[in-house]
Amino acid sequence: MDPRPAGDFLRDILKQAGTGKARRVYVEALEEILGTDFAPHFQILGCRKGRLVVELDSAPLFAELSGFRREEIRQRINELVPDRPIAQLTFRLGGTGRR
């Protein structure tokens, strides 16, 4: 395997840093919408092409948010993060591994 140029590593690092910052604005928005008590129960898996994917570690929370509050939360996120609006909000049930 050939060594990778340093420029490739820098690009990868900058891309990951940008992704982390982009995710952080959504984490902060969700904390404001849901309250900080729920922060340990969710994590942002990704946001691409207007689709935000949030993983939840609680089945009752998943049922409430995906079944009853999805559109309300999406609209509220768009109010809080107007420069990065989302068209689709998806919740997934799984362990966040943040404990």
User: What pLDDT digit, counting tens, does each position of 56-69 carry?
Assistant: 999 999 999 999 99
Structure token digits, residue 16: 């990951």
Question: CATH for 6-93, among 1.10.600.10, 3.40.50.300, 3.30.70.2740, 3.30.300.180?
Answer: 3.30.300.180
Residue 57 and residue 41 in contact, taking contact as beta carbons nearer than 8 Å: yes
User: What pLDDT digit, counting tens, does each position of 28-64 carry?
Assistant: 999 999 998 988 999 999 998 999 999 999 999 999 9
User: What pLDDT digit, counting tens, does each position of 65-98 carry?
Assistant: 999 999 999 999 999 999 999 999 999 998 655 5
Residue 23 pLDDT level (bands cut at 50, 70, 90): confident
Residue found by looking up tokens 């929370």 in the block: 61
